[in-house]
Amino acid sequence: MTKAYELLKEEVIQDIHAKGYLYKHKKSGARVMLLANDDENKVFNIAFRTPPANSTGVAHIIEHSVLCGSDKFPLKDPFVELVKGSLNTFLNAMTYPDKTMYPVASCNDKDFQNLMDVYLDAVFHPNIYKNEKIFRQEGWHYHLEQISDPLTYNGVVYNEMKGAFSSADEVLNREVFNTLFPDTAYGVESGGDPKVIPSLTYEEFLDFHKKYYHPSNSYIYLYGNMDMKEKLDWLDKEYLSKYDAIFVDSEIKFQEPFAERKDVCFSYPILDQDEEENNTYLSYNVTAGTALDLKLCVAFSVLEYALLDAPGAPVKQALLDAEIGKDIVGSYEDGILQPYFQIVAKNANAPDKERFLNVIYDTLQGIVNQGIDKKSLLAGINFFEFRFREADFASYPKGLIYGIDAFDSWLYEDEKPWLHLQQLWVFEELKKEVENGYYEGLVRKYLLSNPHASIVTLVPEKGLAEKEDKKTGEKLAAYKASLSKAELEQLVEQTRALKEFQETEDSEQAKECIPLLNRSDITREAVKLYNEEHHQGNTVLLHHNLFTNGITYVDLLFDTKYVPDELIPYMGILKSVLGYVSTEHYSYSELFNEINANTGGISCGLQVFQKPVLSVDCARMFGVRFKSLDAGVDFAYDMVKEILCTSKLEDEKRLREILGSMKAGLQQAIPGSGHSSAVLRASSYFQGSAYFMERTAGIEFYHLVEKLEKNFEEQKADLIEKLQLLMRYIFRPENLFVSITADEKGYEGTEQKIASMKEYLHKEQLPQGCIHYLLEQKNEAFMTAGQVQYVASCGNFKEAGYDYTGSLRVLKKILNYDYLWINLRVKGGAYGCMSGFKRNGEAYLASYRDPNLSRTLEIYKGIKKYLENFSCSERDMTKYIIGTISELDTPLNPAAKGSVSLNAWFSGLTESDFQKERDEILHVSCEEIRKLSGLVDAVVSQHNICVIGSSTGIERDKELFKEIKRF
């Protein structure tokens, strides 16, 4: 294709409809992979093998730091400038245990070229060598504003990892990983251990970059519909030709197998009020081959499904029956050279460790002797094959995920770049292996007779977070005491200089070096909706007529407006029960396998639709969803009937197991996404839709599940009665609304199927109930054992008389990547910050893994003044507009287009409404942004706040809250 490169390999990769080329750049030694196809959503990725030698987080800190300016783009944060002013469909960087990636994606050719240029200059010519303050800001630094102040640590990565080290799940996964591979790069924490991060020096930081960030250690990936020769020539001319090939020792070493299983114990933090009983994690872990054995990798994913993931799976069920843990989960951890298989009992007790192991061994031995259930194996194979063929990665570009998957082999074997992109043959092979003992052999070899294993016990420890904080404080105090006055003054000066660096704006000349599209590069047309309204009697059938490659997506939505108030929280339980309990013709394990063997899955959930008006009420729907190849749709409808008509809700044992699993999941999920949880809780003080979701999925719902699980014997009869009553209230013909995404062929016969469905739905008379919106400003703080905060401030601007306008989307971009970013992340050290403004008037401000609390709330109050004085150049406004449009124009797969259309229908929005919003965005001015100062101030002034975070931080600012509670 071009003389600067040597073609090593060329292959048609039929499974993903692409042609693959593998090159080596002759002068620099860079590896280059091309995947050419007709996908307009183009992807570029440059990655480096970066095996860390310790837990200072140097690879992670470099990932952050190289995006803080470079030779060609010398401003302080080109990454943020790109987020603000690019049509990107993906823009980020990621640190893994053995590699660091810098991927971008865009559908716009000019934009895509710009993104490539900025990222390549960032990784090869970063400003980190010119300015130590970048390292101190993104990694760690001593913070001392006055000599009399206590000395503290701060830094974006430092605070990010303090948050990560607060989660029991993350602590467990890290300790398992490090324990299995102690003599390799996998034996340390690539993200950084907060206790170790402050030992990293600036010199060590630079040395790591010098060693690994060379083209000879790089993996360059291009995917999509583009002029590949032009891109290769440009890469050679602008970057690669400037380097000579060198040897970079970055090989990922194999861990020598253990002679015997390791047995280790670690602690994780809980609050003093939390219970130690039933709060231990037990984890059995075994290595399982290498990432270069594709058949083995896919087979272990199937085994995870068959042994642990499916309801009633034998290992999971045996542990539940033995009452070892309330939730049993399994995982096959790949994406590394040596994948491993993990079996975890959550909410268990440490003395049960030996029983835990014995139950696992006995169950697995029985499986080897008697054989694995063939239906579950076939169901697992179909599940993964359906997912591979569908290639539905939500908002992530397909090319991005394919590129990440390619690294599962390419990083470890140059000659096998596309191993994990060609899986269809494996599924056929694995179906044949069901009959010949292949899977039983894997269980025997890897799970039973494998000494390269570990048993990790993770026990709760009260006050551990406070103890660590105290040790850190004492260490810092001792260090401060050891310093002379001159040294202390130097620290104060460094803190001042860093703050000055953070507050100093880039020059217009520096900003203009970032390439920018013109407004004319933006398409003027807004989103297209696909809503064809049909009727079957009084039931609306909304057809989203789209090509779906032979897959039909069906949403059966049931209005819950007449459900009595006291039953509403139990809908959150019902959605987790249906499909997971036995029915008339199937045990719950048979049901799950039958569904997954023949469809793409059936699931239940709750969905809220809000009209764009100031209103407390909203449409609250209970959804039963499925996806299936067209040929399997009749079967899917039959299984929905089986679930809705014959589910055995009176199965007490099964209900108890489901509640235990729900509690464990919520226990980690709510504080793990503390920003979302805090926003939902604060919004529930004043917003009906948030109030409903809080009662069925938020903190209040968690406390209901916790109470039911703890007092199950006393409350089981009432729970069963409520669930059975809910079935009669919800699944009625008059409540049904149908949304179907498919082409004309996929839609055929839908009206007859819905008519048949309505025949078996409940029709008996029931007294009508309704939801009671008990809206009340509570301003709560929820204490966790974490070491950081999630700070939310919410309100409704329509209550203050303001209307929704497209300029609010531009305001969100300005706040998220200017005002909040600079004040909360850059200066404050929070890992994330966000805002949002909805059509119904609901608005929020939130921080993520934030070391601060009251300071953050003060920053929110300062938005009014910031906006009153807001001014920017025409170039900057164009940048904000382009960045805003990029969020609106993310390419959607057919299922997502159907979902957008469905939401628009329920919200009463038309294409004209979306066009009006887009026109308002395209024509926004500084004056219009300034006018929004009152709107944001009205939101903040309503003073609906909720914080989830450390007990220390909350206690320090306790006067801010009406109530302080344990999560």
Q: How many CB atoms lie within 10 A of CB 2?
A: 15
How many CA atoms are closer than 13 Å to the CA of 658, on its beta-carbon side? 23
Q: Which residues contact 603 (CB under 8 A, 6 or more apart)?
A: 579, 624, 625, 626
- Among 81, 138, 175, 694, which one carries the catalytic annotation? 138
Between CA 951 and CA 405, with CA 189 as vertex, the angle to 5 degrees is 115
Tell me the three state secondary structure of residue 927: helix
| Strands 944-950 and 780-784, sheet pairing | parallel
- Phi/psi at 436 (nearest 5 deg)? -120, 20
Token pair of 137, please? 């800001």
Nearest to 29 by CA among 177, 277, 250: 250
Tell me the three state secondary structure of residue 336: coil
Helix (H) or strand (E) holding 918, with range, is helix 911-922
CA distances from 584 to 447, 518, 581, 587, 763 (A): 35, 62, 10, 8, 21
Under 8 Å between Cβ of 627 and 595: no
| Strands 94-95 and 99-106, sheet pairing | antiparallel
Helix (H) or strand (E) holding 876, with range, is helix 874-888
**Edge-first strand listing for the sheet containing 944-950:** 832-837, 842-848, 789-796, 944-950, 780-784, 963-966
Asked about 734 being catalytic, the answer comes back as: no
Asked about 10 being catalytic, the answer comes back as: no
The residues pairing with 947 across neighbouring beta strands, listed in sequence order, are 781, 791
Token pair of 200, please? 């990293």
- Phi/psi at 311 (nearest 5 deg)? -55, 135
Angstrom distance (rounded) from CA 557 to CA 717: 28
Query: Which residue has tokens 């009959």?
Result: 435
Under 8 Å between Cβ of 34 and 47: no
- Among 63, 160, 590, 694, which one carries the catalytic annotation? 63
Nearest to 644 by CA among 673, 623, 616: 623
Nearest to 742 by CA among 531, 534, 532, 551: 551
Nearest to 214 by CA among 50, 4, 51: 50
Extended beta strands in 771-924, E state: 780-784, 789-796, 832-837, 842-848
Q: List, as one string, the DSSP characters of 28-70.
A: T--EEEEEE-S-SSEEEEEEEE---SSSS-HHHHHHHHTTS-B
Sign of the C-alpha dihedral computed for residues 14, 19, 25 and 30 taken in this order = negative
Catalytic site residues?
A: 63, 138
